[in-house]
Structure 1
Amino acid sequence: MTVTLREAGEADYPAVAAVMSAANPRHAWTAETLAHETQGLLDHPLRPHLFQLLAEQGGQAVGAALTYQLPGMFHPDRYQAEVMVVPQAEGQGIGSMLADALEAHLESRGAREVLAGTYEDHPRGLAFLARRGFTEALRVFDNVLDLGEFDPAPWAEQARLPDGLRLLSLPELMAERGEDAAWRAYHAAYAEAREDVPRTGEATPLLYGVFRQREEHPGFLPGGVLLAVTDAGEVAALTELYGDAADPGRLNTGLTGTRRAWRRQGLGLALKLAALDLARQRGARSLWTGNASTNVPMLALNERLGFRPQLAWIEMRRGNLAGGGV
């Protein structure tokens, strides 16, 4: 049966999200989430590029491909690329058709570095990327905690913040300091902490206006933003819980981080424990977080708490702007 490719638009978000979820059920998408993420790209002050393709067979969506510039790690010559095929349509050359179309588009854009990836248990995907000149750049593990198996009792002492800090949720800080002041304190801590998160390129500064858009994310939980706050209203450390698009019994961790001046005082552990308590209160069955293989301190902390690593996502790269490009 003939496969046709066409550029995808807003009306295709349900079909694209369905393909993305079928290709990677560990991290499901909804049309609403895809619309939010896409609009965030289109509205970003850096004006990152976005190109989306849909593959159809017999009137059904069987594959999708995206290439875009990631605002959080922006360079005009760096692109992310994703090629996804629903499992029942694999092995028919659909992925190659989509990849060839992306390749032509990226070549027309003068791309010098392209990032793509797949899971370590997907040899077809790894071989596919290797044939196209990609090599491994970074491994990221999903770490999952079964909340039914977590016992908070042994952690009571570590759950306390040091003197001079209080545990507040974002809404509680807003009630004390006002909405804008609370968000700016949250942003200042987040922007500093994220600079030290392992990634394959240099982090782009996070603008406050862009940061505020996270409150519009379908999975954003204001009460799930937990902050270690000084008496002056400064946020010293933070952790975030997000709802999951496909599983109401699952919560996902955003960033857990501590500002440099406050590190090595147990703030990250205390906030993680507070998040676990909140997740249990909300009736969640599991908590997911993602950590790069090079983020040894956070991997060790999660292991102590009982998180178990899942299969690794292998981020692969072709070209390297840090090394002078292709």
Structure 2
Amino acid sequence: MAVIIRDFQPADAEQAAESKRAAIPFMVITPELTSWQVANVPAGQRHRLLVAEADGRVVGSASVGIYTESSQPGQAFVNLSVAPGARGRGAGAGLLTTAEEYLTGLGASTAYAWVLDDEASTSFAERHGYRRSRSSYFSRLDLVADPLPPVPALPEGAELCRGTDFVDEPRRLYELDAEAAADEPGDVDNAAMSYEDWLALYWHRPDLDLALTSVVLVDGVPAAFSVAQTDGRGRYWSGMTGTRRAYRNRGLAKLAKADSLHRARAAGCTEAFTGNDSENAPMLAINNWFGYQRAAREWRYVRELTG
């Protein structure tokens, strides 16, 4: 049966999430999150979620849109995946062709894609004109079998809080996140995202677990945090761990993440996952200290859509 490429519909949520988990088992994906992202991403992102349907089932998808947080116009993303058992039938090529046509119509000049480090995936990207750029790692921590190091002692003037303490004043966490994210390594620059877009993309996510998110205050200022995202099925994802510039090199990010992981294990989480750029040496060192094991590598691939 022919593969059909079309836009995501709410009834696709379960199968779309299932196909993505099959293709990238290190990501924490739920049907609820899939539907929510389609309905709630900022309008400026011009986001589309394309799906590939074969034999009446969704077997792959592609998330496509514009990087609104980049100061350089025309930067776009196209991240696609196809369930392993459905590959070789044209689903990936169909998703990519439709995605690139859409981005070109928007005036996008450059497309970035994350590609798993396996022969089939990287060959597919290179055959379609994408060139390899930087790499990133997925890492996994077994919260049942692996011991966690103790939570470090609080430095003088520091206090541990939870994300729930900021329900009435999320802007304080937005300001911390914006400063921390601006210095993360990557191909696309991280200009300050608007507060409204940050609320839409991150604060209102259905998988954001404020009870397991840890924040370190220093003299009353949010100085570092570790964001927890959970799927209600025992899986935990580190959405962001970072520190304001003036408070770095004090072990505050490690403190926040240690507190979050200990509470996640106590709450019944069984697996913790994270993703880090291969050049983010400070965060990789922290995760090594916790005992995370590398689960997979992925490459950033880029293609010029114009010129």
Question: Could you tell me how far apart the structure 2 residues matched to 1:318 and 1:17 are?
Answer: 27
Q: Could you say if the C-alpha distance between residues 271 and 64 of structure 1 is closer, same or farther in structure 2, counting changes exceeding 3 Å?
A: closer
Question: Could you tell me how far apart the structure 2 residues matched to 1:234 and 1:16 are?
Answer: 41
* Residue equivalent to 1:78: 75
Asked if 1:61 corresponds to 2:58, the answer is: yes
Aligned residue pairs total 305
* Residue equivalent to 2:211: 223
Greater alpha carbon shift after TM alignment, 301-310 vs 311-320: 311-320
Asked if 1:255 corresponds to 2:276, the answer is: no
Is the contact between residue 189 and residue 259 of structure 1 (CA under 8 Å) also seen in structure 2? yes
Question: Could you tell me how far apart the structure 2 residues matched to 1:130 and 1:171 are?
Answer: 45
Question: Could you tell me how far apart the structure 2 residues matched to 1:173 and 1:83 are?
Answer: 35
- Secondary structure of the residue that 1:107 maps to in structure 2? helix
Asked if 1:200 corresponds to 2:183, the answer is: no
Question: Could you tell me how far apart the structure 1 residues matched to 2:295 and 2:70 are?
Answer: 25
Deviations 1:2-56 (A, max 9, x none): 3333333444434433332333232253331012222332x34xx1222343333
* Residue equivalent to 1:113: 110
CA RMSD across the alignment: 2.3
**Among candidates 291, 298, 306, match of residue 313 of structure 1:** 298
Question: Could you tell me how far apart the structure 2 residues matched to 1:221 and 1:15 are?
Answer: 24
Report the TM-score, using the length of structure 1 for normalisation.
Answer: 0.84
Question: Could you tell me how far apart the structure 1 residues matched to 2:13 and 2:69 are?
Answer: 23
**Among candidates 146, 150, 162, match of residue 149 of structure 1:** 146
Asked if 1:169 corresponds to 2:162, the answer is: yes
Asked if 1:125 corresponds to 2:112, the answer is: no
Asked if 1:266 corresponds to 2:251, the answer is: yes
Is the contact between residue 215 and residue 222 of structure 1 (CA under 8 Å) also seen in structure 2? no
* Residue equivalent to 1:92: 89
Greater alpha carbon shift after TM alignment, 285-294 vs 1-10: 1-10
State the AA in 1 paired with 2:45: P
Which residues of structure 2 form unaligned runs of 5+?
A: none
Is the contact between residue 166 and residue 230 of structure 1 (CA under 8 Å) also seen in structure 2? yes
Which residues of structure 1 form unaligned runs of 5+?
A: none
Q: Could you say if the C-alpha distance between residues 109 and 210 of structure 1 is closer, same or farther in structure 2, counting changes exceeding 3 Å?
A: closer
Question: Could you tell me how far apart the structure 1 residues matched to 2:68 and 2:293 are?
Answer: 30
Question: Could you tell me how far apart the structure 2 residues matched to 1:140 and 1:146 are?
Answer: 20
State the AA in 2 paired with 1:102: A
Is the contact between residue 148 and residue 262 of structure 2 (CA under 8 Å) also seen in structure 1? no
Q: Could you say if the C-alpha distance between residues 169 and 56 of structure 1 is closer, same or farther in structure 2, counting changes exceeding 3 Å?
A: closer
Question: Could you tell me how far apart the structure 2 residues matched to 1:285 and 1:56 are?
Answer: 33
* Residue equivalent to 1:104: 101
Question: Could you tell me how far apart the structure 2 residues matched to 1:134 and 1:24 are?
Answer: 20
* Residue equivalent to 2:153: 160
State the AA in 1 paired with 2:258: L
Higher helix proportion (structure 1 or 2): 1
Is the contact between residue 16 and residue 59 of structure 2 (CA under 8 Å) also seen in structure 1? no
Asked if 1:187 corresponds to 2:181, the answer is: no
Greater alpha carbon shift after TM alignment, 26-35 vs 190-199: 26-35
- Secondary structure of the residue that 2:124 maps to in structure 1? helix
Asked if 1:20 corresponds to 2:20, the answer is: yes
State the AA in 1 paired with 2:156: D
Is the contact between residue 20 and residue 28 of structure 1 (CA under 8 Å) also seen in structure 2? no
Q: CA deviation at 1:280?
A: 2.1
Q: CA deviation at 1:74?
A: 6.3
Question: Could you tell me how far apart the structure 1 residues matched to 2:165 and 2:114 are?
Answer: 39
Q: Could you say if the C-alpha distance between residues 106 and 280 of structure 1 is closer, same or farther in structure 2, counting changes exceeding 3 Å?
A: closer
Asked if 1:2 corresponds to 2:37, the answer is: no
